Amino acid sequence: MTNFNWLLDGSIVGVYLLVTMIAGLMVRKYVGNVEDFLVAGREMDVYLGIASLAATEFGIVTCMYTAQNGYEKGFAGATPGILMALAMAGVGLTGFVIKPLRDSGVITIPELLEKRFGGRIRWAAGVVIVLGGLLNMGVFLRTGGQFLVLVAGLDVRYLEIMMTALLVGVAFYTILGGMLSVLVTDFLQFVVMSAGLILVTILILMNVGWEKLVTTVETHYGAGGFNPFVNSTMGWEYVVFNLMLNIASVLTWQTIIARVLAAKDTRTGRKIYTRTSFFFVCRFLIPGIWGIAALATLGPVANTLEAMPTYLSTAVPAGLMGILVAAMLAADMSTDSSYMLTWCSVIYNDILAPFRKQPWSQRKGLFWNRTIIALIGIFLLLYGLWYPLKGDLWTYLGVTGTIYLASISVLLIACCYWKRANSWGAAASIVVSAVIPASYLVMEQLPSTAAFAKSIGPYYSGIATYLLSGAAMIIGSVLRPGSRVEGRPAHV
Amino acid sequence: MSKHWFWWALSMACVVWYSTITVYVAIKGAADIKSMLARLGKGRRTGDS
């Protein structure tokens, strides 16, 4: 039984979807060339950037895994959010990596890497970025559908239909309007999403109460529910892995970097980073509080990922339920559209680069960008339907993201700041960074190696990937000096 | 509250900061969209002529 009222809440959701679709489609007329399509003609200003970045980096999937973290780890589950906020603020204030990246005027990270390491590394980096990004995004749809089905009380059989409908709607305006549609809809989605998140949190704090939330965490997790270092499922390795992961994400996660590249200048890009940084604490802590409230109300449940939506389905009253569902749809649509466009930009700009010996016309470029987005949508639909998720969602996202985060962050830092870095080091770093997490994922799925994978754990595997990827860059560059494309940092 | 003041303060900061920034970004972001589309529209007209 759920409080979702089809007339009242359904109308709120319907109006929201209609307004978003109209806004997304209206701006398509401003798309005149590939740069308009991929980086909005580099005309984005600070506040639109903040709204877009916040909306993109908060999807239903985010809400689900951060609530799961809160349910399973208590307040300590918000640790990755604090680490990401610190990383974001630090990079924004110093301009570390993002300044040379934006100054270079590239559309994607591999394009910058080519200036230093050559065309082959650009291509390989593009493949690794798309592979890690799509595997990461592959679970978004199913998780989003799970949330909506549980909260709205729909039959589970409708999950696939909901996922498909959601994706088709998002793909429609993204294909037509590219980054411009993404930015305008992100803005609307940020407002709706934020309103829903704030209202539901206030409702929970009033109904459940702070004292009960704290007592619940104390009862179930003791001191570990407040301190990640003494939590039995976290520990120093969890904190170190998440620190590395978040620094790498801030520097190289293409959907985040896309906002810097679409910003009207470098100063604007840095401001977007510093002013959005605290949002990343909210991103983990607010749904974390929802997860703790679910634990306080429902007690232990078999599927911890579903605890929060199950709790909300009865805790949120009609009317507010419509705002909540609209908010979560907003969150999901903004994430899906940005992610599809971002991976498309890398496929078009970098992976297809060798096939563009002669420059393509703008018309042909736009056609291929739109086709790639449609193909990504089909892939997501198929992958989302069959991949069985094992372990907790945040860890899966961390491991798949590490496939590219480790090597690309090493390559980017070396490209901008280390004169001796060369293509041999870059290639070694990419191979090491892809092999370790991919092997871990395969071992986790195979019955014969699942126990071994579990004994290593995702955190040690992740830490090893970052360290060995950095070591591979140094060793490769030192062993084969003189093979770099240029003898100076790429952005100079 | 006093025992776990860090998490209490951080949670309250999230609610207050997020509420404030939402209203502020909603107003300023709308102005950003308007000027971005104006610049793009002007650029297209210049390109056409």
Nearest-angstrom CA–CA distance, A174 and A125: 24
Q: What is the per-residue pLDDT for A490? A: 47
Asked whether A369 and A352 are in contact (CB, 8 A), the reply is no
In the DSSP assignment, the letter for residue B1 is -
Residue B41 has pLDDT above 60, yes or no: yes
Asked whether A149 and A175 are in contact (CB, 8 A), the reply is no
pLDDT (average), residues A171-181: 87
Contacts of B35 in chain A (CB under 8 A): 45
Residue A486 has pLDDT above 70, yes or no: no
Instruction: Please name which of A27, A413, A300 lies closest in space to residue A182, comparing C-alpha atoms.
Output: A27
Cβ partners under 8 Å of residue A225, min gap 6: A73, A74, A75, A76, A217, A218, A231
Q: CB-CB: which of A30, A54, A184 is closest to B41? A: A30
Helix (H, G, I), strand (E, B) or coil at A2: coil
B23 touches chain A (CB under 8 A): no
Calculate the alpha carbon distances from A198 to A282, A286, A396, A479, B13 in Å. Answer: 10, 8, 28, 55, 12
The chain A residue lying nearest B24, using CA atoms, is A47
In the DSSP assignment, the letter for residue A481 is T
- Mark yes or no for CB contact B44/A43 under 8 Å: no
- Mark yes or no for CB contact B40/A201 under 8 Å: no
Q: Per residue in A375-411, pLDDT tens?
A: 998 888 888 766 665 656 666 777 777 888 899 999 9
Instruction: Please name which of A304, A360, A375, A306 lies closest in space to residue A148, comparing C-alpha atoms.
Output: A306
Nearest-angstrom CA–CA distance, A470 and A268: 30
ipTM of the complex: 0.89
Burial class (CB in 10 A: 0-12, 13-18, 19+), A142: buried
Contacts of B17 in chain A (CB under 8 A): 278, 282
- Mark yes or no for CB contact A190/B3 under 8 Å: no
Please give, rounded to a whole number of angstroms, the shortest distance from the CA of B37 to a CA of chain A: 7
Calculate the alpha carbon distances from A491 to A6, A100, A113, A413, A488 in Å. Answer: 55, 6, 10, 11, 8
Q: What is the per-residue pLDDT for A492? A: 36
Cβ partners under 8 Å of residue A87, min gap 6: A243, A246, A247, A249, A250
Confidence category of residue A3, pLDDT binned at 50, 70, 90: confident
Please give, rounded to a whole number of angstroms, the shortest distance from the CA of A94 to a CA of chain B: 23
Please give, rounded to a whole number of angstroms, the shortest distance from the CA of A394 to a CA of chain B: 21
In the DSSP assignment, the letter for residue A1 is -
Contacts of A44 in chain B (CB under 8 A): 32, 36
Work out the percent of chain B whose per-residue pLDDT is above 90. Answer: 59
A382's enclosing H/E stretch is: helix A362-386
Calculate the alpha carbon distances from A322 to A15, A65, A177, A200, A348 in Å. Answer: 10, 22, 27, 11, 38
Please give, rounded to a whole number of angstroms, the shortest distance from the CA of A224 to a CA of chain B: 12
The chain B residue lying nearest A75, using CA atoms, is B7
Domains with residue ranges and CATH for chain A? 8-387 (1.20.1730.10)
Residue A173 has pLDDT above 90, yes or no: no
Helix (H, G, I), strand (E, B) or coil at A44: strand
Asked whether A119 and A354 are in contact (CB, 8 A), the reply is yes
Confidence category of residue A161, pLDDT binned at 50, 70, 90: confident
Q: What is the per-residue pLDDT for A97? A: 93
Helix (H, G, I), strand (E, B) or coil at A263: strand
